[in-house]
Amino acid sequence: MEGLKEIDKAYITMPKGFKANGISADLKGNNALDVALIISDVPCNVAGTYTSNLVKGHSLVRSIDVINQNNKIRGIIVNSKNANACVGQVGYDDACDIAKTVASEIGCNENEILTASTGVIGSRLPADKIKAVIPELVKSLSIDEQAAHNAELAMMTTDTVPKEVSASVTLKNGKQVTISGMAKGSGMIHPNLATMIGIFTTDADIDSKVLNTLIHNAVKHTFNRVSVDGDTSVCDMVIVMANGESGVTIEEGTEDFTIFDEALTSLANDIAQMIASDGEGATKFIEIEVYGAKNEADAKLIVTSVARSPLCKTAFFGMDANCGRIITAVGYSGADFDPNKVDLDLSGLPVYRNGCAIDFDEDLAHELLTKHDINVKITLHEGEAYDRMYTCDFSYDYVKINGSYRS
């Protein structure tokens, strides 16, 4: 991709002027990191996209309010283990108190600090524990790689691996900006943004309205095309902060905008794949593609239907080429197509043609399904529209994880 050079080492403080760290407030127990802070040396422009769930966590609602006021911000504090959701006005007040404590330590206004929470819904946030560690957390802020990783680890709940990306972006005039991103997300993952907590930083100078366009472009076919379990959480957001410390300005309608847009989308896509691959209890990463749909809406209906089908997902876990389950999910998706024209390929192996099952090598199919990465290609022969979804399988561990989540 033009201008994009992904960096082997990836962490949120690679863009100039950002610091981060994570600390334990004893929310998780066992001294595990559970509070993250990312701060810019100077005020940032910010834009975000948020869960479509009508029920929203109080930390998120407060951040939406701050961003909608078109405020410049200095950073964001994120806690794990507790979602700060569904507890009433006290939840919003707790988020405000936490932001006020951070602002006092940083030396800024409380409306320059965003808040985010993730974890169990319906329990009051132990705000006093969080506020007690904020002075130490602020003092420990650093540009160092380990400090940045600590911030990522502190956001994680049921995630088994960190999700961090970085890239250097060369613009038309040869000048460079840097973009970094980190995210948590493993369960309660389904489109209608966002399906996790994602934070991007960049040292480019970008107006908030332009940032809003960029982040919505970036999530449309990346984060908004990931489904782990069909559930959409109440605390989810993806934000991008731009502090301008590179001295490079990016404006909408320019070649530099296009380069940056493609780079941000590419990084978002990398994280989206990480989330699907790290789905709760997952053993497989599955890409579902639809070709030849009449329109984009039909293509999206089909990839979504297959991705959230428990029967399809359990078949992938069992390495069973039970492709009738896929065809069935296509059929009840609500899309408009002729069933007699549908072709289906499983990791390159033809299994259906013209809507009919065909003979295929069962041993080869099983071998293909033993691999971690699986591709499902559905061709409708109705038009030119395409879409795809990232998902994973359902294993025994998914039930174990979610059957005992609160404990």
55: three-class secondary structure by DSSP: coil
Tell me the two tokens of residue 332.
Answer: 């009840």
Tell me the two tokens of residue 355.
Answer: 């809507």
What is the distance between the alpha carbons of residues 265 and 66, in angstroms, rounded to a whole number?
25
Pick the closest to residue 114 from 170, 174, 38, 206 (CA basis): 38
- Per the CB < 8 A criterion, the answer to whether 83 and 117 are in contact is yes
Helices 127-139, 89-106: axis angle to 10 degrees equals: 20
Annotated active-site residue in 13, 51, 158, 195: 195
How many Cβ atoms from other residues are within 10 Å of residue 363's Cβ?
9
Burial class (CB in 10 A: 0-12, 13-18, 19+), 221: middle
Per the rule left: phi > 0, alpha: psi between -120 and 50, beta: everything else, 122 is left
- Alpha-helix residue ranges (DSSP H) falling in 30-126: 58-68, 89-106
Residue 142: φ, ψ to 5°: -155, 160
Cα 333 to the center of its chain, rounded Å: 24
What is the distance between the alpha carbons of residues 67 and 157, in angstroms, rounded to a whole number?
25
Whole-angstrom Cα Rg for the chain = 22
What is the distance between the alpha carbons of residues 387 and 303, in angstroms, rounded to a whole number?
7
Residue 158 catalytic?
no
Task: Work out the angle at residue 87's Cα, subtended by the Cα atoms of residues 215 and 60, and round it to the nearest 5 degrees.
Answer: 10
Amino acid at 106: I
Which residues, at least 6 apart from 379, have a Cβ–Cβ distance to it below 8 Å? 290, 291, 292, 342, 343, 344, 345
What number of CA atoms fall less than 13 Å from residue 202's CA on the CB side?
31
Paired residues of 198 in beta bridges: 183, 238
Catalytic center residues: 195
